[in-house]
Amino acid sequence: MGLYMLPSVLTDIIGSLLMIILSFLCLRYTFLLIRKDPDNFLWSFLHYFCITLAIFAVSRAMGHMVKQALLISDQKEAWKAISPFSGGVNTLLMISVSAVTIFYHKGVEGYRAIQEKAESLRIANRDLEKASATMKEMNLHLEEMIESRTQDLALSEEKFRNFFHNSKDMVFFCDHTGIMLDMNRAGLEMLNYTEDTAPNLSLKHLFADKNSLKDFNATLSSQKFVEDFEVEFIKQDGSIVCALLSATALYDDTNTFRGCEGIAKDLTRLKTMTSQMISTEKMASVGQMAAGVAHEINTPLGIILGYSQLMKDDFPKDSEEYENLVVVERQSQACRKIVADLLKFSRQSGSSPREIDINEILTDVLAITEHNLHLDHINTERCFSENLPVITGDEEKLRQVFVNLINNAQHAMEDEGGVLTVRTTFSREKGMITASIMDTGVGIEATIKHRIFDPFFTTKSVGKGTGLGLSVSYGIIEDHQGTITVESPVMYKNSCQLTPGTAMHIHLPVPQHNGNKKTGMNTV
């Protein structure tokens, strides 16, 4: 029996020794893994598993070797006494190894969950570090960024301020009730207001037509903007100025209307130019008609005048027939004068332009008309600018213009007398000579001021005027590339008193080569 059990015993002893050796080799390997990666949960778990396995291997191997030693030494009773304890220890250690093995998968899952959490924390930490670096960078350059943004805001504000203050059109801001919050200098000048008199100015006070104000508010409310809205504003002095208004509604974050901003362009000059163009076209049409009529009646008038003059020789001067022929001759000559005015109005008469001095023409005209002026108790004042440059024009036609204007001024003062002032000035900047005929008469009503240059329009009684004087004068001045304007009422200074009257201003251009010929000119 002992011979045949030897291989089994040797195998048991060698296997036990190998079990111990291999378990401790595994233990050493896991120890090296832990040293290389101490935070790795898996290596820690395997290390503790190998410790349990090594203890189990030692316990089991020692139990087998002690058993074989006692059996070989024939101490079976001793082994019977020890074997229950050895088997119990081995069983406990086997249970421990099994338990560790059973919970291995749970541990791995927990480790993976921890790893994922750790990875997310690492990512969050990395993002946090990036954000921290960005914040540090921003903190380092915050002052530069603030300075750059401040410069941009200052530049934007300067652009707006320049546009607001330098605009030649009215720019304004008003609140939801229409009260003006701010208005630029051009707007104040357009309305004849100053910064001191402008407070509490509102759209309700500016709009001359209340229906236009209602239309403006309705359009602004429905469309959120108003474009090219033609209105009439009331100036501080009560006069009216035409303007083209565009505005945009302003809303806050809650979409509540809080006011508007707008731009208004003065249309007064455009209206004046349009009116002048219409008047020019109308006068041109009437002029063509007048030229045709004048030519048609000029021949029969000449025949009537000639025959009446011939027939006067056939009758004694004290006879009734002679007196009748004198009347016919006088009225025929009056008709021929009217025809001549019509031809002058139509601008079909000849012209002989040459260099002339306005002061000399006015002096000659006053020498002719001053006697009649004195008969109507009208005093004359000369305010001639010295060394006026010469202009190019038709002396006779300009003389006719000044005679017409002085005659009109005389008729305006013939009842109560007054003062007639003739003034000349030169503007070097505009290159214009201005000749003004000013009277202290009754003035011109505002309702007819725009009609005074119309052909055949006159306020004189029947027989005292044909209504062609100013029309002819207008055409003559236009032929000289000049303009004629009327100012009435004008506050005329006379004996330290201000008296209403009328001023007719004739503006004539100076040829460029003449504008600087003379020095020492009185300019205005």
Which domain CATH number covers 502?
3.30.565.10
Summary mean pLDDT of the chain: 77
Kindly state the average pLDDT of the residues 278-295.
64
Question: Residue 242: inside a domain, yes or no?
Answer: yes
Whether residues 320 and 242 fall in one domain: no
Are 426 and 521 in contact by the 8 Å Cβ rule? The answer is yes
**Hey, which residues does 170 pair with through a beta bridge?**
264
Confirm whether 142 is domain-assigned. Answer: no
Find the range with the poorest average confidence among 52-66, 178-192, 341-355. Answer: 341-355
* DSSP H or E segment with residue 438: strand 432-439
Residue 150: inside a domain, yes or no? no
The whole-angstrom separation of Cα 355 and Cα 329 is 38
Q: Which of 463, 452, 456 is nearest to 408 (CA)?
A: 452
Is residue 173 domain-shared with residue 249, that is, in the same domain? Answer: yes
Question: Per the structure, how many domains does the chain have?
Answer: 4
Please give the helix or strand (H or E) that residue 379 lies within, else none: strand 378-383
Which residue bears the tokens 């007819």?
A: 448
- In degrees and rounded to multiples of 5, residue 420 shows phi and psi of -110, 120
- 308 and 365 inside one domain: no
What are residue 246's DSSP bridge partners?
A: 263
Whether 208 contacts 185, CB under 8 Å: no
Q: How far apart are CA 402 and CA 395, in angstroms?
A: 11
d(CA 468, CA 458): 8
Confidence grade of residue 154 (pLDDT, cut at 50, 70, 90): confident
CB 186 within 8 A of CB 172: no
Q: Which residue range(s) make up the domain with 285?
A: 271-345
Residue 64 lies in a domain: yes
Instruction: Tell whether 516 is covered by a domain.
Output: no
β-strands 170-175, 180-183 pairing? antiparallel
CA angle, 518 then 356 then 366, to 5°: 110
pLDDT of 511 strictly over 80: yes
Final residue belonging to a domain, choices 314, 345, 376: 345
Same-domain pairing of 363 and 493: yes
pLDDT winner (highest mean) among 161-170, 392-401, 423-432, 449-458: 423-432
Helix 41-72 vs helix 104-166: angle between axes, to the nearest 10 degrees?
Answer: 170
Residues 242 and 293 in one domain: no
**Winning range, highest mean pLDDT, from 53-62, 218-227, 299-308:** 218-227
Considering the domain architecture, whether residues 440 and 457 belong to the same structural domain is answered as yes
User: How far is 111 from 515, CA to CA, in rounded Å?
Assistant: 104
Side chain identity at residue 56, one-letter code: F
For the ranges 145-154, 267-276, 287-296, 511-520, the lowest mean pLDDT is seen at 511-520
Check if the beta carbon of residue 188 is closer than 8 Å to that of residue 211.
Answer: no
Instruction: Give the H or E element holding residue 258.
Output: strand 257-266
- Residue 448: predicted pLDDT: 64
pLDDT recorded at residue 124: 87
- 433 inside domain: yes
Domain boundary among 313, 345, 377: 345
Asked if 261 and 282 sit in the same domain, the reply is: no
Q: How far apart are CA 22 and CA 61, in angstroms?
A: 12
Spatial distance between the Cα atoms of 29 and 60, rounded to a whole number of angstroms? 22
Name which of 134-143, 341-350, 502-511 the model is least confident about: 341-350
> What is the pLDDT, as a whole number, of residue 348?
46
Last residue of a domain, one of 247, 266, 285: 266
Whether residue 459 lies inside any domain: the answer is yes
Q: Looking at the structure, do residues 388 and 486 belong to the same domain, yes or no?
A: yes
* Range in 15-29, 158-172, 279-293, 400-414 the model is least confident about: 279-293
Cα 363–chain centre separation: 52
Residues 408 and 505 in one domain: yes
Reported as a single tens digit per residue, the pLDDT across 390-436 is 998 888 888 888 888 888 888 888 777 888 899 999 988 888 999 99
Strand 418-427 to 378-383 pairing:
parallel
**How high is the pLDDT of residue 450?**
58
CATH number for the domain harbouring residue 281: 1.10.287
Above pLDDT 70, what percent of the chain?
75
Give strand ranges (E) for 77-224.
170-175, 180-183
- What pLDDT does residue 495 have? 39
Q: Residue 517: what pLDDT?
A: 44
Judge if 96 and 221 occupy the same domain: no
- Least trusted range by pLDDT, from 144-153, 171-180, 188-197, 359-368: 144-153
What distance in Å separates the CA atoms of residue 483 and residue 508, rounded to the nearest whole number? 7
Same domain for 300 and 370, yes or no, is no
Task: List, for residues 76-113, the tens digit of each pLDDT value.
Answer: 676 667 667 666 777 777 777 776 676 666 666 776 77
Query: Could you tell me where the DSSP H helices lie in 200-319?
Result: 203-206, 210-223, 268-312
CATH code assigned at 228: 3.30.450.20
523 lies in a domain?
Answer: no
Same domain, 362 and 498: yes
| Per-residue pLDDT, 345 | 52
Residue 465 has pLDDT above 70, yes or no: no
Given pLDDT bands bounded at 50, 70 and 90, which one contains residue 522? very low
Q: What are phi and psi of 224, to 5 degrees?
A: 70, 0
35, amino acid identity: R
Q: What is the mean pLDDT of residues 442-470?
A: 61
| CB of 452 closer than 8 Å to CB of 412 | no
